Structure 1
Amino acid sequence: MDIRKIDDSISVAPQIAIEDVAEIARLGFRTLVANRPDQEESGQPAMADIEAAAKEQGLDWVYMPVESGNITDQDVERFAPMIRDAEKPVLAFCRSGTRCTVLWALSSARDHQPEEILSRARNAGYDITGLIPRLMQQAGKR
């Protein structure tokens, strides 16, 4: 399992396994968010199985699938309040962690400077400089 901390409220990860959920809870995460569609790739664990494991471990579960490479403004509008209201800390996962990072970045642009967002993403191992125009667009909605 490859957990990458964005800030104190959210970390992201590539696809997790069902057996990872107990460790996620042990590490202190309170909410588990899946941004990967079920059956996106063969061999991927079923989201219902991960959900059951999350609930068994006392984690809040959020299934918010987003199509890879096609994050819409509507996706950002759904993600922002979910993250704001979720019990922290949150661990969000997708295939590589990039989708979760992009959703976090775009939903944070109204409250944080683009340089800070880019830096946090870079420190977590994600280069999202290609998002600068969208970050600026979201910042304009403050």
Structure 2
Amino acid sequence: MDIKTLSETLTVSGQLTPSDIDALASRGVKHLICNRPDGEAADQPQYAVIADRAKAAGIQCHFLPVVPGQITAEDISQFGALLSSGEVTHAYCRTGTRCTHLWALSQASANKIDDIINTAAAAGYDISALRDTLSLRASQ
């Protein structure tokens, strides 16, 4: 599991396995967000398997599946609402990119666009192509 930090309370990664859950719990993760639809790949553990293990470790689970390239305003709003608790949260998808896009879009009205893009880049995600969409969301 390759964990990337986007904020003091949010980390992201690619697909988790049940064996990753204990490491997340030891890092103080209180919420787990799955942004990957079940069945996207044949070798992908189902959300329920991950969620069962996470719940046993005391982590609240949230299933917010997003199809790549089809993020909606509702997806962004729900993701932002899940982050609003201020508790340590980990989000995952296939590579962490969808989670990073959702984070960036949910933060556009509260943070400088360059700061969002630079934070994502420092975590290994080039989201510079979202600049116009981030600017549009920031102006709403």
Common fold: TM-score over 0.5: yes
Aligned pairs for 1:9-48 (under 5 A) are 9-48=9-48
SS at match of 1:76: helix
TM-score (norm 1): 0.95
Give the Cα separation in 2 of the matches to 1:53 and 1:69. Answer: 29
Q: Offset of 1:74 from its aligned partner?
A: 2.1
Amino acid at match of 1:75: D
RMSD: 0.9
Aligned to 1:101: 100
Is residue 114 from structure 1 mapped to residue 121 from structure 2 by the alignment? no
Could you tell me which runs of 5 or more consecutive residues in structure 2 were left unpaired when the two chains were aligned.
none
Structure 1 runs (4+) greater than 4 angstroms displaced: none
Is residue 83 from structure 1 mapped to residue 106 from structure 2 by the alignment? no
Give the Cα separation in 2 of the matches to 1:83 and 1:27. Answer: 17
Could you tell me which runs of 5 or more consecutive residues in structure 1 were left unpaired when the two chains were aligned.
none
Give the Cα separation in 1 of the matches to 2:101 and 2:75. Answer: 11
Give the Cα separation in 1 of the matches to 2:43 and 2:79. Answer: 26
Give the Cα separation in 2 of the matches to 1:122 and 1:105. Answer: 11
Q: Cα deviation per residue 1:65-114 (whole Å; 9 max; x = unaligned)?
A: 011121122211221112113x5210000000000000000000010010
Q: Offset of 1:44 from its aligned partner?
A: 0.2
Amino acid at match of 2:48: A
Aligned to 1:53: 53
